[in-house]
Amino acid sequence: MISQLDTVKTALAEAKEALDNLLVNENVQQEIVRAAQVMIESLKHGGKILSCGNGGSLCDSMHFAEELSGRFRLDRDPIGAVSMSDPSHMSCVGNDYGYEEVFSRYLKAVGRKGDVLLAITTSGTSKNVVRAAEEARKLGIKVVALTGKPDSQICRLADVAVVTPGGRFADRVQELHIKVIHILIELIEGGLASAKN
């Protein structure tokens, strides 16, 4: 029988291995830089970033948006970012049109050409996130995908796909996603600050 301490050690070792794999993967690191550049260009020209995901990825979507519209590390003006996470919208659209449409319909309502969609799905196949990416392409909104599966549906729809090498389970993928999100925020803050100088 595995002890609880062994479970802790195994979880930490798996998390370390996933992070080590990301640390040596320059292709993914370059995609993170490209994703930040797409977002910075949009924001510099009056665009905004809309984000979405399901479950833990929805929480990551909200975390990303609030760090930009609120504060991360620097005292600066708020940055235009919105998580598509309004529960009344989601229950209304889920009830009337189906859960697959909750993000695409929100995007169609408030998204504009020149905005960016951050589409988070560990599997790369979440139907409502894929539908949002499809709608984004119709609207002239760039798509940044954050996923754990290469060559997935969301990757094929994305302008930039950040695929983290998380391992067998979604929780390891999500642990890398929050690191990527914090790096994106740091790059966005720095990019906008340098543009003002």
51 has which bridge partners? 83, 118
Tell whether residue 121 is among the known ligand binding residues.
yes
Tell whether residue 174 is among the known ligand binding residues.
yes
Tell whether residue 56 is among the known ligand binding residues.
yes
Rounded to whole angstroms, the Cα distance separating 170 from 19 reads: 14
Q: Which residue matches tokens 């002239």?
A: 140
Tell whether residue 177 is among the known ligand binding residues.
no
Tell whether residue 54 is among the known ligand binding residues.
yes
Establish how many alpha carbons lie within 13 A of residue 152's alpha carbon, considering only the half-sphere containing its beta carbon.
Answer: 24
Tell whether residue 126 is among the known ligand binding residues.
yes
Rounded to whole angstroms, the Cα distance separating 170 from 99 reads: 21
Tell whether residue 122 is among the known ligand binding residues.
yes
User: First vs last Cα of the chain: how many Å apart?
Assistant: 60
Tell whether residue 30 is among the known ligand binding residues.
no
Tell whether residue 153 is among the known ligand binding residues.
no
Annotated binding site for substrate: 54-56, 67, 95-96, 121-123, 126, 174
Annotated binding site: 54-56, 63, 67, 95-96, 121-123, 126, 174, 182
Annotated binding site for Zn(2+): 63, 67, 174, 182
